[in-house]
Structure 1
């Protein structure tokens, strides 16, 4: 999957051939249990271990402003995105959009079935490494057309397991190889304010309070009819 990202005001192409979604990555055991409980409320079985690394097709990554899903049982999740290419790491922003109805049957399949929107900007990982846990992530949803944006998620990367640990656990650098191709990983999320629920639009942001910069992305969700 070839995706162009802006890095330092320049466009760079990344041929992403390996994609992982890291799940159950909360650092706080109580926060993990909260997320497990809120998903259990919609029928999702608890994980066999934490964290888990789900492989998904790299073609599911998209910079499009609209995604199409089947039915009304999907929702987005704001997450840090790590991209590895030729031994260099970058950090960006993504949404692990997931089919919650299918998740009750199989978490792995629910991750695979929905596109994964990504923002068009990456930061060099080494530029934020000394303050990475201060990076703030937020998401907002519009539940209906014309509705106001409602804060849906918020937290800092300090709430997620150390990203270096997740990068090693997923073998991300090795997965990218040395051939000029890239590997990507979505790194986990926070609980939803008011509970997990669908929306017609999803907005997300990652703020760097030290270097005073922000990555943002907005996408709309088009529901296709679920035909039996």
Structure 2
């Protein structure tokens, strides 16, 4: 994959992709997300957080993905990439099949592409202000962009804890790794949308990373 770092192309091909789930720092916020998904038939997690392993090629900077059936949706998340002794912060969407999620969260993570922005920030530049970084998402409904998620990384467990919990250092030594770090509750509840827009803003610099993608629905053939 070709990313952009400080305006220059950076080729990264992570051998591993981890999706960290149930990472909220506030117990009430975690329970809200559990209840939110329970309304869709999703069983509660065995413990929190959990680290799901999915196929690395699912990570994509494409502006269009495909999903079987109309029941998938995105979630804005911080993205950590670690390879060749360097670590970067990016922006991604944990696009998930909600119908399959009611049967198996792990399987639902595996069947959808994981869109991400092409731009990355060097870890050492953002580490001092990580908790202040803001993530937002919008979905398109009836032709209008509607606010969907909004929060700061301070709402998520410390990223250092997630890095240790997923053993990113070990995975990075085995070919490089990318990890999606969890999300926030959705305004109005989790629901599908054909278009998803997301942004990550560093208030210390005013710089933002953005990405937008479309989901093409494939026929669910039985």
Q: TM-score range with shorter-chain normalisation?
A: over 0.9
Q: Is the 8 A contact 1:207 1:213 kept in 2?
A: yes
Give the CA RMSD over aligned residues.
0.8
TM-score of the aligned structures, taking structure 1 as reference length: 0.96
Q: Quote the residue 2:169 is aligned against.
A: 173
Cα distance in 2 between the residues matched to 1:160 and 1:8: 26
Deviation at 1:143, TM superposition (A): 2.8
Residues 183-202 of structure 1: pairs in structure 2 closer than 5 A:
183-202=177-196
Question: For structure 2, which runs of at least 5 residues remain unmatched after alignment?
Answer: none
Deviations 1:24-65 (A, max 9, x none): 000000000000000000000000000000000001001110
Cα distance in 1 between the residues matched to 2:217 and 2:104: 21
Cα distance in 1 between the residues matched to 2:4 and 2:63: 16
Question: For structure 1, which runs of at least 5 residues remain unmatched after alignment?
Answer: none
Deviation at 1:138, TM superposition (A): 0.2
Q: Quote the residue 1:154 is aligned against.
A: 150
More deviation, 8-17/24-33: 8-17
Q: How many residues matched?
A: 222
* 2:30 aligned with 1:32: yes
Deviation at 1:89, TM superposition (A): 1.0
Deviations 1:12-35 (A, max 9, x none): 100110000000000000000000
More deviation, 34-43/181-190: 181-190
Deviations 1:62-109 (A, max 9, x none): 111000001111000000000001222100000000000000000000
Cα distance in 2 between the residues matched to 1:10 and 1:54: 31
Deviations 1:155-203 (A, max 9, x none): 000000000110111011210117xx42000000000000000001000
Q: Is the 8 A contact 1:143 1:198 kept in 2?
A: no
* 2:219 aligned with 1:225: yes
